[in-house]
């Protein structure tokens, strides 16, 4: 019979390390968070061979007193909390007291540190949880950690690491989040001797986004700032045009801590739902401040997952905030034909001389103008305007294409491929997808009817009889109130048959039977919260005018006019764009009018 025995301390430390230190990036995360908790405003991280052979982290924080250094490497030793009550108000990034002991259990660690109150610094070496040496040493204020030969005593763990390049990439991703989460701290990240990331610590989030993500992303950002009874949020979200095929561009912080939250992810993506196509995800860098009393951050050893005490209120509020921010801007994507390059203009000095000139000076100016030397100063002579001449110029604002005031200046050119309408306005060519536009018009029209409870129904004679399977019948019973809400009248006809006696007004004379079965089959794939919206979007798509259907100029004009009145006219309910544009410059570039 197996005997029960206590594990030795070395085994305990290695098991604990396995929970906290999964790979080199875990070491960097724990040590950088300690630097920030120590009050550092400058942190340098250097990594070699993906962090396996060396991780060096240097900060200018408060340091560790010499007598407390051995204690800092013991399990559950921390300066962040002192009792269970402190867990409710903890604001530091780390607090478990497991990081240093876990790192020291699986690596060769050297610590050099000095506090402002000590005359000299301290060098401390610990390998595999065994203390090697502690001695005084000259050192600047702050702390430097050198972590060498990670997993040297646990080869099985080391074997499961990925390539040095991949592990280095994980650390770089982590450092990007660290830089974003603490814009007031100056970071430098060095990978294999090359500086890969650097921030100034000037607290300007947009500058950091520019250095990490580049000009195109930064140029398509929308600033977000809001405060309510549940939380405050600030940061940036992206216009739909910079959406990506995965969630790697969604970054969320709570009280300075990077977190993964299905609550925030679902709320943000729901707000973007009518702006993006399926399987596209938005750009977001958002900073939340939430009372510690409403959070439980002691959920996961890495402290990246949180629980909230008022999840539903946070979800609904965040959806509304982001949707409102997206709704009140122009989101027509500009589609370049060729990459736009500004023509190079040779530098020249241009001086405008005031009037009147003395006659001698005027002659001198004329001679200088006639000189062939490319270095001669250039002048422009301007005659004073005659007071009797009045020039009248009509000046328009930088107006939006879908502004109602702009409608009078829309010039409808025609239709191509019986699908797309061409409209000229303000130096640009706008191309409208008639199906996507009509679909969005129907969607918003039906939404207003639902909000006002003014849905319309059309009687079907004779009624449509459906024979449903057991699963279809179960879905119908479950979602019958939603079907009735949008205009259906359905009653049991005996056995497993049901009669559709009325359909939504805009779906009359479509294939009612086939369409209803499609909607019923898709019910289970839609979450409860979004059920009605999804079905209305589906209905609008079926009822909208299709491509290849020729519209008259009058019909197209009415469609565009109705599009002007919508809250979000830029995307159909499924996220496809309704309108794109291209500039006159791009067309002239394509035809070589501009070289």
CATH code (residue 145): 3.30.565.10
Instruction: Supply the Cα-derived Rg of the chain in whole angstroms.
Output: 33
pLDDT in the model for residue 386: 42
> 249 and 156 in one domain?
no
Structural domain containing residue 294: 205-327
* Pairwise pLDDT comparison (72 vs 337), residue with the higher score: 72
pLDDT per residue as tens digits for the range 413-456: 888 887 888 988 888 888 888 888 888 887 777 777 766 766 77
- Whether residue 568 is predicted with pLDDT greater than 60 in this model: the reply is yes
pLDDT per residue as tens digits for the range 221-233: 999 999 988 889 9
Specify the DSSP element, H or E, that contains 564.
helix 553-564
3-state DSSP call for residue 259?
A: strand
Angular region, 367: left φ>0, alpha ψ -120 to 50, beta rest = alpha
Average the pLDDT over 373-396 and give the result.
39
> 76 and 24 in one domain?
yes
- Alpha carbon distance 255, 67 (integer Å): 32
Average the pLDDT over 459-488 and give the result.
81
What band does 383 get if pLDDT is binned at 50, 70 and 90? very low
Average the pLDDT over 298-313 and give the result.
63
Domain assignment present for 26? yes
> 111 and 13 in one domain?
yes
Domain assignment present for 216? yes
Backbone angles phi, psi at 147, to 5 degrees: -110, 115
Contact 407, 564 (CB under 8 A): yes
pLDDT in the model for residue 167: 94
- Whether residue 133 is predicted with pLDDT greater than 90 in this model: the reply is yes
Domain assignment present for 310? yes
What band does 382 get if pLDDT is binned at 50, 70 and 90? very low
Residue-by-residue DSSP string for 455-482: --EEEEEEEEEEE--HHHHHHHHHHHHH
pLDDT in the model for residue 308: 72
> 237 and 175 in one domain?
no
Give the mean pLDDT of the chain: 77
> 125 and 225 in one domain?
no
Domain assignment present for 102? yes
Q: Which residues pair with 378 in a beta bridge?
A: 350
pLDDT in the model for residue 25: 95
Tally of domains within the chain: 2
- Whether residue 104 is predicted with pLDDT greater than 70 in this model: the reply is yes
Specify the DSSP element, H or E, that contains 314.
helix 311-327
pLDDT in the model for residue 435: 84
What band does 7 get if pLDDT is binned at 50, 70 and 90? low
Q: Which residues pair with 424 in a beta bridge?
A: 411, 429
Say what percent of the chain tops pLDDT 70.
72
Class of residue 50 by CB neighbours under 10 A (exposed 0-12, middle 13-18, buried 19+): buried
What band does 379 get if pLDDT is binned at 50, 70 and 90? very low
Q: What is the CATH number of the domain that holds 280?
A: 3.30.230.10
Contacts of 142 (CB under 8 A, 6+ apart): 40, 58, 59, 60, 61, 63, 113, 114
- From the list 536, 517, 507, 520, the residue with the least C-alpha distance to 478 is 520
* Pairwise pLDDT comparison (105 vs 524), residue with the higher score: 105
The CB-side HSE value for 585 (13 A sphere, CA atoms) comes to 8
> 253 and 138 in one domain?
no
Kindly provide the residue ranges of all beta strands, DSSP E only, lying in 34-191, ordered along the sequence.
42-48, 54-59, 108-114, 121-127, 130-137, 142-148, 186-191
- Whether residue 81 is predicted with pLDDT greater than 70 in this model: the reply is no
Average the pLDDT over 52-69 and give the result.
95
> 250 and 158 in one domain?
no
Average the pLDDT over 67-85 and give the result.
66
- Whether residue 43 is predicted with pLDDT greater than 90 in this model: the reply is yes
What band does 565 get if pLDDT is binned at 50, 70 and 90? confident
Domain boundary among 277, 307, 327: 327
Kindly provide the residue ranges of all beta strands, DSSP E only, lying in 158-261, ordered along the sequence.
186-191, 194-198, 221-227, 232-238, 250-254, 257-259
- Whether residue 82 is predicted with pLDDT greater than 50 in this model: the reply is no
> 190 and 53 in one domain?
yes
Angle separating helix axes 531-543 and 470-485, nearest 10 degrees: 80
- Whether residue 561 is predicted with pLDDT greater than 90 in this model: the reply is no
Domain boundary among 167, 194, 221: 194
* Pairwise pLDDT comparison (568 vs 488), residue with the higher score: 488
pLDDT in the model for residue 534: 58
> 213 and 99 in one domain?
no
3-state DSSP call for residue 412?
A: strand
Domain boundary among 275, 299, 327: 327
The CB-side HSE value for 502 (13 A sphere, CA atoms) comes to 14
Domain assignment present for 390? no
The CB-side HSE value for 285 (13 A sphere, CA atoms) comes to 26
Domain assignment present for 281? yes
> 190 and 105 in one domain?
yes
pLDDT in the model for residue 358: 45
pLDDT in the model for residue 306: 66
> 86 and 218 in one domain?
no
pLDDT in the model for residue 34: 93
pLDDT in the model for residue 349: 38
- From the list 227, 246, 354, the residue with the least C-alpha distance to 290 is 227
Domain assignment present for 571? no
Torsion of CA 345, 346, 348, 350, to 10 degrees: -20
- From the list 98, 79, 38, 80, the residue with the least C-alpha distance to 301 is 98
- Alpha carbon distance 529, 361 (integer Å): 79
Average the pLDDT over 322-342 and give the result.
67
pLDDT in the model for residue 88: 43
3-state DSSP call for residue 148?
A: strand
* Pairwise pLDDT comparison (8 vs 261), residue with the higher score: 261
> 245 and 186 in one domain?
no
Domain assignment present for 300? yes
pLDDT in the model for residue 576: 80
């Amino acid at each position: 019979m197996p005997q029960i025995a206590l594990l030795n301390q070395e085994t305990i430390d290695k098991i604990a390390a396995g929970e906290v230190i999964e790979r080199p990036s875990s070491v960097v995360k724990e040590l950088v968070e300690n630097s920030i908790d120590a009050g550092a405003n400058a942190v340098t991280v250097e990594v070699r061979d993906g962090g396996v052979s060396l991780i060096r982290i240097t900060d200018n924080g408060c340091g560790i007193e010499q007598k407390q250094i051995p204690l800092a490497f013991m399990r559950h030793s921390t300066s962040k909390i002192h009792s269970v009550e402190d867990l409710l108000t903890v604001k530091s990034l780390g607090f478990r007291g497991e990081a240093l002991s876990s790192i020291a259990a699986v690596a060769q660690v050297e610590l050099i540190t000095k506090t402002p109150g000590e005359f000299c610094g301290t060098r401390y070496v610990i390998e595999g949880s065994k203390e090697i040496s502690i001695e005084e040493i000259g050192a600047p204020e702050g702390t430097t950690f050198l972590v060498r030969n990670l997993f040297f005593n646990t080869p099985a763990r080391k074997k499961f690491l990925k390539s040095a390049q991949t592990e280095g990439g994980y650390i770089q991703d982590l450092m990007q989040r660290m830089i974003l989460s603490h814009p007031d701290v100056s970071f430098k990240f060095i990978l294999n001797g090359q500086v890969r990331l650097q921030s100034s610590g000037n607290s300007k989030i947009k500058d950091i986004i520019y250095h990490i993500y580049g000009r195109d992303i930064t140029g398509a950002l929308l600033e977000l700032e809001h405060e309510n009874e549940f939380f405050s949020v600030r940061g940036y979200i992206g216009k739909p045009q910079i959406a990506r095929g995965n969630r790697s561009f969604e970054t969320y912080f709570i009280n300075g801590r990077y977190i993964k939250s299905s609550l925030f992810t679902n709320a943000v993506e729901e707000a973007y739902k009518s702006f993006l196509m399926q399987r596209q995800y938005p750009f977001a860098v958002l900073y939340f401040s939430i009372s510690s009393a409403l959070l439980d951050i002691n959920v996961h050893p890495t402290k990246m997952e949180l629980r909230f005490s008022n999840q539903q209120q946070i979800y609904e509020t965040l959806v509304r905030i982001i949707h409102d921010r997206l709704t009140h801007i122009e989101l027509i994507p500009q589609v370049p034909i060729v990459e736009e390059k500004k023509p190079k203009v040779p530098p020249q000095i241009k001086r405008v001389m005031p009037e009147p000139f003395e006659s001698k000076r005027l002659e001198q100016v004329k001679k200088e103008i006639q000189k062939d030397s490319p270095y001669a100063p250039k002048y422009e002579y301007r005659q004073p305007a005659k007071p009797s001449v009045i020039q009248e110029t009509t000046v328009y604002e930088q107006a939006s294409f879908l502004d109602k005031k702009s409608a009078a200046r829309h010039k409808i050119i025609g239709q191509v491929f019986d699908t797309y309408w061409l409209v000229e306005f303000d130096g640009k060519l706008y191309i409208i997808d008639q199906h996507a536009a009509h679909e969005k018009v129907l969607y918003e029209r039906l939404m207003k009817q639902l909000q006002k409870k003014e849905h319309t129904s059309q009687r079907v004679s004779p009624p449509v009889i459906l024979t449903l399977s057991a699963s279809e019948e179960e879905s119908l019973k479950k979602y019958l109130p939603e079907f009735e809400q949008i205009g259906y009248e359905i009653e049991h006809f005996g056995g497993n048959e049901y009669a559709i006696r009325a359909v939504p007004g805009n779906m009359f004379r479509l294939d009612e039977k086939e369409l209803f079965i499609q909607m019923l089959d898709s019910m289970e794939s839609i979450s409860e919260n979004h059920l009605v919206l999804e079905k209305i979007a589906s209905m609008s798509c079926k009822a909208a005018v299709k491509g290849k259907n020729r519209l008259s100029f009058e019909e197209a004009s009415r469609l565009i006019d109705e599009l002007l009145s919508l809250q979000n006219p830029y995307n159909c309910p499924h996220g496809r764009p309704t309108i794109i544009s291209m500039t006159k410059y791009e067309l002239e570039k394509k035809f070589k009018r501009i070289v």
